[in-house]
Amino acid sequence: MDCHHYDAFRCRSCTLLELPRARQLSDKELHARSLVDAPVWLPTVAGPEAGFRNKAKMAVGGSVEVPTLGILDRDLRGVDLRDCGLHSAGLTSALDRIAAWIAAAGLTPYDVATRTGELKHVLLTESPDGELMLRLVVRSTALEARIRSRLPALLEAVPALRVVTINVQPEHKAVLEGEREVVLTGKATLPMRLSTGVTLRLGPRSFFQTNTPVAEALYEQARAWVDGLPGVRAVWDLYCGVGGFALHLASPGREVLGVEVSADAVAAATATAAELDVAAEFVAADATAYALASRASPDLVVVNPPRRGIGTDLAGWLEGSATRHVVYSSCNAESLARDLAAMPSLRPVEARVLDMFPHTGHYEVLVLLER
């Protein structure tokens, strides 16, 4: 992928951009293999090398008249990256119109150096159907009335918008979003209609993989593994989010339980399960605390933790449980390796690298464990 921002040293986030894609993929697989001792490695899922991101996380800089959407340089000045080659065409087109609307509405960009201004970030997500969810991260509610009054103009300029919110992040620190979310549109969730046959409901604060084609491959692989195992009647999906793994694994004769700390994500997953008419239940709780408090052991557990991994407590519970299989989805093979060392009775039988984050050193690895 060619990038004029990279060549001009305006943005160097794609640290592997100068490496051929084949070399990127082989290096990631070698790294994963060095950490995970699986007897079978399925072919790496590559996905597209450009235009794959379904989410744009843009810092707002510049001036009211000429706002920038992108990153801040070392001098805390805005660098405009609206035409980033990683973004889908729908995101790129919408970002141009949103920037023009910001200028017309007179929304003052937040100046990190002087701690003045209001608009901090523009977070934009696109569904496979081309619908959009926009979150405007602001320092306070000072702009709320102005944004509301100019919302019709925004919806006219970007007709694909389904959800628009204001997120309030008052603190002066490197935190992307705050706790308060104000929904401005009648719809509060974005349907993510996947090629797998499942449509997830994505709320403003819900997690979903940034690479939709590779996420679909991730869910398909987990479903293929679980459907191929005998006697899997009870499944837990820990760190379930909006139910990505749980809803793909739900099937006749199988009961699925998803555990997720976000009540909004649990509500969205519950609504999707009802729409699909599948036996999937969702609980708002901490994944580790829920497992440690439970006396039951399901036949199979799915874990999809953040980069830190599942940790010693949950790994210890899995090691001592009667669960026969675990599907572990990891975005950090090093924390995965630490977790595997803490549950030696559960051994990898198959694994697969999925290039969720092309042109960077990051990737997803999915592992099937068997007791």
pLDDT tens by residue, 333-344: 999 999 999 999
Q: What is the pLDDT of residue 173?
A: 84
> 61-67 — which CB contacts under 8 Å span 24+ positions?
61/109, 62/109, 63/109, 64/103, 64/106, 64/107, 64/108, 64/109, 65/103, 66/103, 67/99, 67/102, 67/103, 67/107, 67/109, 67/119
Longest dimension (CA), the chain: 63
Q: What is the pLDDT of residue 295?
A: 87
331 is a catalytic site residue = yes
Under DSSP, the state recorded for 141 is S
Q: What is the pLDDT of residue 266?
A: 94
Q: What is the pLDDT of residue 349?
A: 98
> 63-67 — which CB contacts under 8 Å span 24+ positions?
63/109, 64/103, 64/106, 64/107, 64/108, 64/109, 65/103, 66/103, 67/99, 67/102, 67/103, 67/107, 67/109, 67/119
CA distance 207 to 364: 15
Residue stretches of the chain with pLDDT short of 50: none
Token pair, residue 75, equals: 């001098």
| Catalytic residue selected from 14, 84, 240, 331 | 331
Q: What is the pLDDT of residue 174?
A: 83
Q: Are 324 and 297 in contact (CB under 8 A)?
A: no
Contacts of 234 (CB under 8 A, 6+ apart): 254, 255, 257, 296, 298, 299, 300
Q: Which of 242, 364, 229 is nearest to 300 (CA)?
A: 229
Under DSSP, the state recorded for 109 is B
